[in-house]
Structure 1
Amino acid sequence: MTEWGGATSPAGGNGGRRRLAAARGEPRAARQPLERPAPLRQAVYDVIAEMIINRELQPGEHLVENELAAQLGVSRQPVREALQRLQSEGWVDLRPALGAFVHVPTEEEADQLLATRTLLESESARLAAKQGTPEQVERLRELQRVGEKALSDDDQVALVDANAALHAYVVAMSGNKVLAELIAMVDRRVRWYYAPIARSRGRQAWDEHAALIDVIASRNSRRAGEIMRRHTERTRESYHQRRKEAAEREAPG
C-alpha cells in the first residue's frame, strides 16, 4: 500500500496501471474532451463583477436573472453561469427559494483582506524603490496626474480605477512575480472595499501617493515601505470608520 494525500491506495491501482502502460509505450487512455472557450460567459461574469465592485449593484441587492439578462442583452443562461461562479468566489450569495443577492462583506472579512494588503503592498513599495527606473517613476507620476484629475472631477469610478492602476504599477516595479500574483488575488476585492471611501480619502490619499512616488524616486526602500504601510493602514481605518458611521445612522432612535 502507498500513501497519497492522506489516503491509502494499492500500488497496483489505476495510477500504477497507467504508469506501467506508459513505461511499455502503450497509447494513453482517452480523456474527457476539453471544453471550448466561452467568451460570452466570461464577458457576463466580468461585467457583473465590475457592477458589484463599483457599487452599481449594492451589497445585499437582489439579483434577478431575467433583469440582468435584459440589461446586458444576453440570454439567462450565461447570467446564471456567471452568478454561480460569482457565488463560488464570494461575490454573490445564492439563497434557496429566494435567488441571488450581492454578498454583504463582514467586518472580519474586510479587516483580514486589508491587513493582508498592507503586508504585500509595503513589500512591493520597498522593492519598487530598489528596482525602479527613472522611466517607471515618470509613469507613476503620470498615473498620479490621472488620479488627481479624477479627484478634481469628483468621479468615484475613475478614482477607484486610478488608485488601482497606481498601486498595480508599484507592484509591477517591484519585479517580484510571486508578490504580483498574490496581490492580484486580492485586487478586485480591495477595489470593492475602496469604492465607498474613495471620495472621503480623497486629497489625503493622493497626497500620500505623491509622497510615496518621491521616496521611490529617491531609492529609499525602507522609507517607501513605511509610507505604503501607513497609506494602506489609513485606508483600512477609513473603511472601518465608514462602516461604524453607517451602523450608527441605521440604528433605531
Structure 2
Amino acid sequence: MLFNGLPQGSLRRLERPGPLREQVYQTLLQLISSRSLPPGRHLVESELAARLGVSRQPVHEALQRLSTEGWVDLRPAQGAFVHDPTGEETDQLFVVRALLETEGARLAAVGPSAEGLERLDELCATGEAAVAADDVDAVVAANATFHACVMDLAGNAVLADLASRVEHRVRRYYTPIVRQAWVEHRELIAAIAARDDTRAQQVMRAHTQDARTRFPPRPAG
C-alpha cells in the first residue's frame, strides 16, 4: 500500500477552505522532500484522494505541478512515481546550491543587522539542541531554517527564492549528513558578524561543497 510505513499522523485529511490543489501540492511536496514518500514510490491518484479527503482533480493537478518541478515522474500507462535522481543530477543540484548560497553568505556579511545575527544564533542553538536530543526531523528543519535566514539577510529576494527551491530539492539528502553542520554554522555566524564577506564566502562554499562529499554514494545497480 502507498502509505504503509508512514509515521503516525504524517498524512491528515485536508481542511477547507483554501485552494485544494495548493494544499495537496504542499502536503505531497513535504512527504517527498522528507523521504516519507521515498524515490520510486508509486503515487496512486485515487488512493491519495481518499486519504486526503479530496476529489481526484486537485491530486491530479498537484502531481502535474510536481512533475514539472522534477519531484514526480509521469510514466505513460503506468502513472506517477516519486522521482529517483541520478548521481549526476544530485551533483548538479549541490553545485547550484553552493553557488547560490555562497553568494548569499557574501551579501549577508555586507551589512548584517543585530536582529538578524541574533536570529542566526538562536537557530544555531536550536539545531545544536536537536542534535543533542537525537531528533533528526528537528535537525533537518533547523538546518533549512538557518540557511533560509542567511538568505534573508542577503537582502536579495530573487536569490532567496532560487535558493529555497534548490534547498527543497536537496533536503531529501540531509538526514545522514546534517548533524555535522553546526560547527560550520557557528563559523559562518562569526564571519557575518565580523562583516568579513570574503570569509563568509569561504565558509559557505566549503560547507555546501562538503555536504555533497558527505552524502553516501548510491549503490550500483
TM bucket (normalised to shorter chain) is: 0.7 to 0.9
Corresponding residue SS for 2:195:
coil
User: Which residue of 69, 79, 86 maps to 2:59?
Assistant: 79
Please provide the CA RMSD for this pair.
1.8
Q: How does 1:1-253 map to 2 (within 5 A)?
A: 39-194=19-174, 196-197=175-176, 200-202=177-179, 204-239=180-215, 242-244=216-218, 247=219
Supply the distance in 1 between the matched residues of 2:65 and 2:195 (Cα, whole angstroms): 42
Supply the distance in 2 between the matched residues of 1:214 and 1:88 (Cα, whole angstroms): 39
TM-score by length of 2: 0.86
| 1:82-126 deviation line (CA, Å, top 9, x unaligned) | 112111211111112221110001111111111011111111111
Q: Please, which runs of 5 or more residues in structure 1 have no aligned partner?
A: 1-36
Query: Match for 1:223: what amino acid?
Result: R
Whether contact under 8 Å (1:147, 1:162) holds in the other structure is: yes
TM-score by length of 1: 0.76
Task: Quote the sequence identity (%).
Answer: 55
Supply the distance in 1 between the matched residues of 2:22 and 2:178 (Cα, whole angstroms): 33
| 1:212-243 deviation line (CA, Å, top 9, x unaligned) | 1112112111111100100001101122xx13
Supply the distance in 2 between the matched residues of 1:210 and 1:234 (Cα, whole angstroms): 16
Aligned to 2:11: none
Supply the distance in 2 between the matched residues of 1:69 and 1:172 (Cα, whole angstroms): 36
Supply the distance in 1 between the matched residues of 2:35 and 2:125 (Cα, whole angstroms): 24
**Which structure has more helix as a fraction of its residues?**
1
Whether contact under 8 Å (1:131, 1:175) holds in the other structure is: no
Corresponding residue SS for 1:100:
strand
Whether contact under 8 Å (1:110, 1:193) holds in the other structure is: no
| 1:5-50 deviation line (CA, Å, top 9, x unaligned) | xxxxxxxxxxxxxxxxxxxxxxxxxxxxxxxx97111100110011
Query: Match for 1:243: what amino acid?
Result: P
Query: Match for 1:41: what amino acid?
Result: R
Supply the distance in 2 between the matched residues of 1:70 and 1:213 (Cα, whole angstroms): 46
Query: Which has the higher mean CA deviation after the structures are superposed, 97-106 or 151-160?
Result: 151-160
Corresponding residue SS for 1:101:
strand
| 1:111-160 deviation line (CA, Å, top 9, x unaligned) | 11110111111111111111101221111001111212222232222222
Task: Using the TM superposition, give the Cα deviation of residue 182 of structure 1 relative to its aligned residue in structure 2, in angstroms.
Answer: 2.6
Whether contact under 8 Å (1:143, 1:162) holds in the other structure is: yes
Q: Please, which runs of 5 or more residues in structure 2 have no aligned partner?
A: 1-16
Whether contact under 8 Å (1:53, 1:188) holds in the other structure is: yes
